[in-house]
Amino acid sequence: MILSLKERQSIQPVYQTITDILTNGQLDLSKLEDYLLFKKTMDADDFDCFYESWIDTLKEHHFLAHTDAQTTMEQFVAQIEAITKQCNINFDTQLAIDRYNSYMKTLGLEHINFDVLQANIVASMLRPYQLELIVLFDGYNNQDFCVIFKDKIESLKEKEAYIK
């Protein structure tokens, strides 16, 4: 989708606000070269480069968990643990794994990855900390998850509505 010049100019601060929500203010987009280039050119191709760089940066700094069909529960919760450390929360990865394995055994599905169950277990374990697991990107066979404080959900929804 090609954005109009007005939309491109106004979308930049939206991504900084979303980044502030996702990272609790710990990541500054003005340090990303691709963001600065997009800001300067307003080009749709440069936006695509910025978006990929933004996602990669969120992953590298442990603000985003990426999953696909091969992601095991152990791999997923290791990513979630790294994210929750950013919030000074000690996420119990073993309890999450045990709950997942127990449920999968009950279903007789021990040898597959059930991503919806993985996400639901993690989400239920985050809620007592007033944290929510959100899907930032939902692709054909992969998803990007972030963890945010519950009181930031409405702000994120407002910004998300602006860019959809």
Question: What DSSP assignment string belongs to 42-106?
Answer: --HHHHHHHHHHHHHHHHHTTS-EEEETT--HHHHHHHHHHHHHTTT----HHHHHHHHHHHHHH
Q: For the chain, how many helices (H) and strands (E)?
A: 7, 3
The model's pTM: 0.87
**Each residue's pLDDT tens digit, 49-90:** 998 999 999 999 999 999 998 999 999 999 999 999 988 999
Reported confidence tier of residue 1, pLDDT bands at 50, 70, 90: very low
154-to-78, 148, 151, 158 alpha-carbon distances in Å: 27, 11, 7, 6
pLDDT for 3: 38
Q: Span 18-23, mean pLDDT?
A: 93
Q: Which residue has the higher pLDDT, 47 or 65?
A: 65
Cα 21 to Cα 125: distance, rounded to the nearest angstrom? 20
Give, as one character, the DSSP assignment of residue 127.
Answer: G
